[in-house]
């Protein structure tokens, strides 16, 4: 691969996703702005993943197969990919997700126009990996409603009200911004990419386009969900993040407490959504006072599971205030009207394309 100022590398970790790899690779290879190299790193798969990757590598010169000697985990594999990648820009994908048309072209165009930005990101459509049912769109609150650059000072202001803007799989990074931020911290486990994303945005700023660029397939056995669903691991994980945020000058002094509150809400929400409700994790993550414990215990005893979920989430929202209700509402409204507009526009185009019947 010839390294240029616009060269793009894709790093695609894989572990036992042979059945999803063709969909993911086909989507990457069909981009109108294709990647200069696609590094697929197999992390000790026991299925026929390496055979699938080898077939693509034989057919497409941009595809390169690397194999870990043993299973190292996704963060260590991402770190290896960052070291191996030679592109000026880098995209970190997932073998069970797939990108949407036009993603890379839009990303490179905006990053070239905003040389200060450390990354570009768009929206991600969430679907259940098993049922294919749509689960929602991320970010739940858009940082802004038009495409453009967000400088570091504005990133910090936005983080006071909302968070989780960037899904890593919906982002393209400037390589030197990743290196200057220290790369992936393996000690942060499944949050290593989220930490790095926030640090790059706070240090360099970012570009955002309010359009879907990724389909993110969510599975119940993912690393992040496993980490968040066990009380002991969740507490240890939270303590490590708290320590790291306190020690890193890239993050505002107020952010540590704000992040911990939001993370507790997110983990407690997962506990509430389990079937049955994970009572131990809910109490462990959501409790601050005896009043919290009393209210949640009452909700769990008095109501059926569906009603208990609704009332428990309402109480958690009031106590932990994870993000702006106004932002959530305006984002939902904007996405609704965008959908309506596309439907009207598509219908108009179909009418115009009908053969002329000669009648009025």
Confidence of residue 357 (pLDDT cuts 50, 70, 90): very low
At the topology level, CATH places domain 8-219 in: Spore Coat Polysaccharide Biosynthesis Protein SpsA; Chain A (3.90.550)
Q: For tokens 């790193």, name the residue.
A: 41
For the chain, give the mean pLDDT: 89
On the question of pLDDT at 359 being above 50, the answer is no
For 338-349, the pLDDT digits (tens) are 777 666 755 655
For 28-47, the pLDDT digits (tens) are 999 999 999 999 999 999 99
pLDDT of residue 3: 60
The answer to whether the beta carbons of residues 85 and 39 sit under 8 Å apart is yes
Q: For tokens 């055979």, name the residue.
A: 51
Domain residue extents for the chain: 8-219, 224-320
pLDDT of residue 199: 98
On the question of pLDDT at 280 being above 60, the answer is yes
On the question of pLDDT at 152 being above 60, the answer is yes
The answer to whether the beta carbons of residues 169 and 123 sit under 8 Å apart is no
Task: Find the mean pLDDT for residues 86-96.
Answer: 97
Cβ atoms < 10 Å from Cβ of 181: 23
Q: Which residues of 77-94 are buried (b: 16+ CB within 10 A; e: fewer)?
A: bbbbbbeebebbbbbbbb
Confidence of residue 285 (pLDDT cuts 50, 70, 90): confident
Which of 88-97, 195-204, 325-334, 350-359 has the least mean pLDDT? 350-359
pLDDT of residue 8: 98
Which of 195-199, 216-220, 271-275, 339-343 has the least mean pLDDT? 339-343
For the record, the structure tokens of 212 come out as 């879907």
For 255-278, the pLDDT digits (tens) are 999 998 898 888 888 889 888 898
Task: Find the mean pLDDT for residues 328-335.
Answer: 85
Instruction: Name 214's Cβ contacts closer than 8 Å, sequence gap at least 6.
Output: 97, 98, 99, 100, 103, 122, 123, 124, 125, 167, 169, 170
Burial of 229 (0-12, 13-18, 19+ CB in 10 A): middle
The answer to whether the beta carbons of residues 94 and 12 sit under 8 Å apart is yes
Above pLDDT 90, what percent of the chain? 65
């Amino acid at each position: 691969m010839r390294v240029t100022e616009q060269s793009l590398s894709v790093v695609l970790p894989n572990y036992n996703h042979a059945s999803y790899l063709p969909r993911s690779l086909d989507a990457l290879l069909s981009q109108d702005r294709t990647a200069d190299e696609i590094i697929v790193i197999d992390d000790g798969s026991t299925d026929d993943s390496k055979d699938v990757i080898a077939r693509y590598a034989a057919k497409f010169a941009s595809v390169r197969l690397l194999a870990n000697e043993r299973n190292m985990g996704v963060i260590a594999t991402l770190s290896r990919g960052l070291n191996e990648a030679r592109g000026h820009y880098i995209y970190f994908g997932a073998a069970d997700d797939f990108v949407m048309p036009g993603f890379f072209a839009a990303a490179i165009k905006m990053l070239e126009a905003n040389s200060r930005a450390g990354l570009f990101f768009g929206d991600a459509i969430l679907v259940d990996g098993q049922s294919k049912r749509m689960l929602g769109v991320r970010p739940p609150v858009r940082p802004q409603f038009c495409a453009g650059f967000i400088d570091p000072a504005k990133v910090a202001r936005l983080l006071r009200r909302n968070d989780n803007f960037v899904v890593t799989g919906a982002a393209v990074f400037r390589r030197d911004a990743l290196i200057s931020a220290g790369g992936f911290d393996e000690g942060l486990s499944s949050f290593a990419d989220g930490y790095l994303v926030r640090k790059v945005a706070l240090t360099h700023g970012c570009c955002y386009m309010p359009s879907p660029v990724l389909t993110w397939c969510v599975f119940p056995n993912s690393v992040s969900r496993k980490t968040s669903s066990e009380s002991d691991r969740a507490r240890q994980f939270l303590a490590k993040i708290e320590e790291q945020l306190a020690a890193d000058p890239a993050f505002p002094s107020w952010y540590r407490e704000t992040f911990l509150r939001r993370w507790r809400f997110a983990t407690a929400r997962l506990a509430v959504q389990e079937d049955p409700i994970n009572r131990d994790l809910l109490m462990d993550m959501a409790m601050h006072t005896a009043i919290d414990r009393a209210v949640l215990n009452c909700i769990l005893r008095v109501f059926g599971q569906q009603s208990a979920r609704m009332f428990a989430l309402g109480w958690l929202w009031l106590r932990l205030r994870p993000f702006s209700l106004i932002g959530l509402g305006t984002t939902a409204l904007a996405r609704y009207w965008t959908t309506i507009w596309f439907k009207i526009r598509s219908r108009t185009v179909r009418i115009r394309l009908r053969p002329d019947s000669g009648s009025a």
